[in-house]
């Protein structure tokens, strides 16, 4: 298989290179960048010196079509444009938010820009792998979920689907490492300002909010707004979503455990914690795992669900490769069988 990576100099792109370089079915990669064409990867990224000997190429639709799969790790708008040009001529996995929302209006109001054409929005398969395996397997145009959305939905969808909880009562307190904010330097992520500090931002205004609401609505009776607070933690990788819901009558901890076990029985990347042992972000570092733990408080009747991922892996490039595997009939774990880096 020949893979193209567009936007190879961002954190999502460089993580794709790490994964695809060792993927058993990838024969060759081509890397594209709008800003650094002509440069050797190792010039910008000394860590790949002597390993990845690729030159960044100018983004060009004709060249892209010659690949079996094209990963778009590009900014909003650029993905929409490239998807429109390439759709149907090669398989596309888009890591941006451009194709995640089904309603153009919702896109416009949260992203503050024009959306991709409606036909594209309808055609794109939302690649939360564990919940859409069949569609992903058949997909030609795949929209890879957001990092927060992946972490949140993996932890809460089982309850919503089985009516153990109501989407409208969901409160999500999410914490992310700084790579989620990308590779462009900013005051927010300047080391001197972020080290030994804890930040909160875009409360109820983050773009992943409508994505979460849309996907919850697929499994609940109606679309309802959720409460979503993202935080920035002084660490490089990792997301933890701590979620709060009142449990429906009759549900207890054992029921939840059984529900999760059943739901994810055939999902190699979802690990359910036993006995209230809650996961830490470092326990999935560098891998495609999503670890989920939970407790039920009998005093309040509320469940607290904790879901962790590596935001660059299951939250981005890892899940993209997982989706690619399904789209090409490969084993789901192909090229993703890493043990978390510890410590």
**Sites for a second copy among residues 197-256 (CB under 8 A):** 197-201, 203-204, 225-227, 229, 231, 233-238, 240, 242, 244
In whole angstroms, give the CA distance from residue 251 to residue 262: 15
Burial class of residue 1 (count of CB atoms within 10 Å of its CB; 0-12, 13-18, 19+): middle
Which tokens sit at 265? 């029985």
| Comparison of 140 and 278: residue with beta carbon closer to a second copy | 278
Using CB under 8 A as the binding rule, the residues of this chain from 8 to 27 that contact a second copy are 11, 14-15, 17-18, 21-22
Q: Which is nearer to a second copy, 80 or 270 (CB)?
A: 270
Q: Residue 147 catalytic?
A: yes
Could you tell me how many residues of this chain bind a second copy (CB under 8 A)? 85
Smallest distance, a second copy to C-beta of residue 62, A: 29
Q: Segment 126-185, which members bind a second copy (CB under 8 A)?
A: 168, 171, 173, 175, 177-179, 181, 183, 185
Cβ–Cβ < 8 Å for 110, 199: no
How many residues are listed for the chain in this entry?
343
CB of 194 to a second copy, least distance (A): 4
Pick the closer one to a second copy by CB: 46 or 329: 46
CB-based burial of residue 61 (10 Å sphere; 0-12 exposed, 13-18 middle, 19+ buried)? middle
Name the CA dihedral angle for 342, 288, 89, 4, rounded to a multiple of 10 degrees.
0
Nearest CA-CA partner of 232 in 179, 287, 309, 304: 179
What 3-state DSSP class applies to 294?
strand
Residue from the set 140, 304, 328, 334 that interacts with a second copy by CB under 8 A: 304
- Binding a second copy (rule: CB under 8 A), the pick from 34, 89, 189, 334 is 189
Q: How many CB atoms lie within 10 A of CB 185?
A: 9
Catalytic residue among 6, 93, 121, 147: 147
Task: Give residues 255-284 in contact with a second copy (rule: CB under 8 A).
Answer: 271, 273, 276-284
Residue 339 as a binder of a second copy (CB under 8 A): the answer is yes
By CB under 8 A, the residues from 56 to 115 that bind a second copy are none
């Amino acid at each position: 298989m020949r893979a193209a990576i567009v936007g190879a100099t961002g954190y999502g792109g460089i993580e794709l290179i790490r994964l695809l370089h060792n993927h058993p079915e990838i024969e060759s990669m081509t890397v594209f960048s709008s800003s650094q064409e002509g440069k050797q990867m190792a010039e910008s990224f000394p860590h790949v010196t002597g390993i990845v000997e690729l030159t960044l190429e100018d983004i060009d639709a004709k060249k892209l079509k010659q690949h079996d799969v094209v990963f778009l790790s590009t900014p909003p708008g650029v993905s929409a444009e490239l998807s429109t040009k390439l759709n149907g001529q090669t398989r596309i996995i888009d890591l941006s938010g451009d194709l995640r929302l089904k309603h153009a209006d919702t896109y416009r109001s949260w992203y503050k820009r024009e959306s991709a054409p409606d036909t594209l929005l309808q055609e794109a398969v939302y690649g939360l792998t564990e919940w859409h395996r069949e569609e992903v397997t058949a997909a030609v145009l795949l929209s890879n979920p957001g990092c927060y959305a992946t972490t949140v939905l993996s932890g809460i969808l089982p309850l919503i689907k089985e009516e153990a909880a109501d989407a409208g009562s969901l409160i999500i307190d999410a914490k992310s490492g700084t790579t989620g904010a990308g590779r462009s330097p900013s005051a927010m992520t300047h080391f001197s300002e972020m080290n030994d500090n804890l930040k909160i931002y875009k409360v109820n205004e983050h773009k992943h909010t409508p994505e979460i609401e849309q996907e919850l609505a697929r499994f609940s009776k109606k679309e309802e707004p959720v409460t979503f607070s993202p935080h920035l933690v002084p660490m490089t990788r990792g997301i933890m979503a701590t979620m709060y819901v009142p449990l429906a009558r009759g549900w207890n901890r054992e029921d939840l455990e059984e529900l999760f076990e059943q739901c994810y029985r055939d999902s190699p990347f979802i690990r359910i914690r036993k006995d209230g042992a809650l996961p830490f972000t470092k326990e999935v570092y560098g891998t495609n795992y999503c670890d989920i733990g939970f407790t039920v408080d009998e005093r309040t009747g509320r469940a607290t669900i904790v879901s962790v991922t590596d935001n660059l892996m299951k939250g981005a490039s890892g899940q993209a490769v997982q989706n690619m595997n399904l789209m090409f009939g490969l084993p789901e774990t192909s090229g993703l069988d890493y043990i978390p880096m510890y410590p």
